[in-house]
Amino acid sequence: MFFYYCRLAWLSIRRNPVLSTLMMAAIALGIGAAMTTLTINYLMSANPIPGKSEQLFYVQLDSWDPNQPYAEPNEPPDQLTYRDATNLKEARQAKLQAAMTQSAAVIEPKELGKKPFMAYLRLTHNDFFELFEPPFLYGQGWSDEADKSGRLTIVLSKKTNDELFDGANSVGETITMMDREFEVVGVLDEWQLKPRFYDVTTGAFNSMEHGYVPFKLRETLEMPNSGNTNCWKSPDGEGFQAFLQSECINYQFWVQLDDADAEQDYMSFLNAYVEQQKQLGRFPRPLNNRLSDVMEWMENQQVVDDDAQVMFYLALMFLLVCLLNTVGLLLTKFVSKSGEIALRRAVGASRADLYWQHLVESALIGVGGGAGGLILAWLGLQGIKSLYGDNLAGLAELDLTLVAIGIVLAIVSSLLAGAYPTWRACRIPPASQLKTQ
């Protein structure tokens, strides 16, 4: 019966090609707009590390100015001071913990003819690789000993390894940065977190670093910091050490806590730590420490762009207009079929039969509109890519889930749009129509 209805629907669609095209076009436009904006929002708010997002916690300590909070209403700063980052690491009260900040250096390739290039680096502890589980192509992270002594080791991204060693296994080789020789201990495979949640202060959707080096080098090599540094008072004294020991915030700190108990214990540890620092004359504000898991932190940092959300809501309303349009057009179409409907009723089809038949027709129009809508969404995403360029890199790609959502959305909306016109068409009394034939 279903296939028979499909055939009838196909015939009916072909009978009024203009009207049918108009309806499919309306649904396609609505779905296209909705899917384009949905894609951007969906990818922006995607969970970047689904398996672990509830075990990874971002640490915030309120070390800010006694006279005013870091941000209203009484928000703790979004980063830590160097002192606190190193102290928390040394305390080792969580299962895994890593401090980090962004840095940069020029890599001078040894091979003649290759130009020096600027590399963005992440200064971090070796727990980083266990916390965020990047895929390794060769080798592994550095040792605890390298963390403590600040040994000159580096883990390269795939891209950098391709650039420097043409993709070969470079573990054990050295590269030159800041006139020093860094030993390669590991090479990552392709790795792009979206959003790059572990440091959103330098752009949540930036590309990943060129390499990862031990955190200690910030101090021993005085490596520059290229993230945001915020201070509420000037360093006490001159020089790099004074700057490192100041109340300026520039470091992120992540811990892994496997269950609620661990979370509670770590929170008590943080509070005890701050109380102890208060004895030293630091932390002038009331106790206000925070642990946020990955999704909470994304929410707090408003990773999903306001513009993207506004566009999404406007696109949903756009879809609503398209649906109202389709309701109108379906009404037109079904009522113009009243003769046929009456005839089918007269020869014995029940109202329910007719109802199903016309719902199938609506759904078929929805499928057509959905397919068109996906093409339009793809075009729309290409347009958005060319408009935003690198600002939305990697966020304008349709995946299978989105395609499925698109099709379902199209069918559901066309069924919704078809419900009333179908009901109305089936209420046509057979006799009145047959008389005029």
Partner 1 sequence: MNHLGPIFRALLRNKVGAVLIALQVAVTMTIVVNAIHLISSRSDLIARDSGLDESNQFYITTIGYDQNYDARYVTDTDLDSLRQLPGVVDAVQINALPMSNSGSSTTIKNAAGEDAGDAGAALYYVDDHALNTMGIELLAGENFNATDITWREMNKGTMPQKIMITATLAQSLFPDLEPEQVVDKTLFNGDDEPMTVIGVIKQLHAPWVGWGNIEHAMLVPQKSDSVYAHYLVRTEPGQRATVMPEALAKIEQRDVGRMVLEHDTMTQVRADSYRNDTALQSILWAIIVTLMLITALGIVGLISFTINRRRRQIGTRRALGASRGDIMSYFLTENLLITLTGVVIGGMGSVGLNIVLVNNFDLPRLDYIYLPIAMVCLVVVGLAAVFGPALRAAHISPATATRNI
| Site residues, partner 1 (CB under 8 A) | 19, 22, 26, 29, 33, 67, 105-106, 108, 115-118, 178-179, 224, 229, 233-235, 238-240, 243, 305-307, 309-311, 314-315, 317-318, 320-322, 324-325, 327-329, 331-332, 335-336, 383-384, 387-389, 391, 420, 424, 436
Residues 145, 151: contact at Cβ < 8 Å?
Answer: yes
Select 143 or 433, whichever has its Cβ closest to partner 1: 433
Q: How far is the CB of 314 from partner 1 (least distance, A)?
A: 6
Residue written as tokens 């403590």?
148
DSSP letter assigned to residue 232:
S
The region, left, alpha or beta by phi > 0 then psi within -120 to 50, assigned to residue 281 is left
Instruction: Read off the tokens for 165.
Output: 């060693």
Residue 136 or 388 having the CB closest to partner 1: 388
CB of 153 to partner 1, least distance (A): 20
The two beta strands, 180-188 and 211-214, are: unpaired
> Minimum CB separation from partner 1 for residue 125, in Å?
23
Q: How many CB atoms lie within 10 A of CB 437?
A: 7
Cα 62–chain centre separation: 27
CB closer to partner 1 out of 20 and 256: 20
Least CB distance from residue 328 to partner 1, whole Å?
Answer: 4
CB of 409 to partner 1, least distance (A): 17
Q: Between helices 400-426 and 338-346, what is the axis angle to 10°? A: 70
The nearer residue to partner 1, 72 or 306, going by C-beta atoms, is 306
β-pair type (211-214, 117-124): parallel
How far apart, in whole angstroms, are the C-alpha atoms of residue 45 and residue 298?
8
The whole-angstrom separation of Cα 410 and Cα 418 is 12
Q: Which residues pair with 80 in a beta bridge?
A: 251
Nearer to partner 1 by Cβ, of 271 and 301: the residue is: 301
Query: Between 108 and 340, whose beta carbon lies closer to partner 1?
Result: 108
Nearer of residues 404 and 434 to partner 1, judged by Cβ = 434
Residue 339 C-beta-side C-alpha neighbours within 13 Å: 5
Say how far apart CA 435 and CA 131 lie, in whole Å: 78
Q: Which is nearer to partner 1, 298 or 322 (CB)?
A: 322
**CB-wise, 146 or 384, nearer to partner 1?**
384
Least distance between partner 1 and beta carbon 139 (Å): 26
Q: How far is the CB of 261 from partner 1 (least distance, A)?
A: 37
CA distance 295 to 111: 44
Quick one: tokens of 282? 């630091």
Burial of 247 (0-12, 13-18, 19+ CB in 10 A): buried
- Sign of the CA dihedral running 202, 208, 210, 215: positive
Q: How far is the CB of 87 from partner 1 (least distance, A)?
A: 21
The residue to which tokens 């209203």 are assigned: 72
Shortest Cβ 201–partner 1 spacing (Å): 12
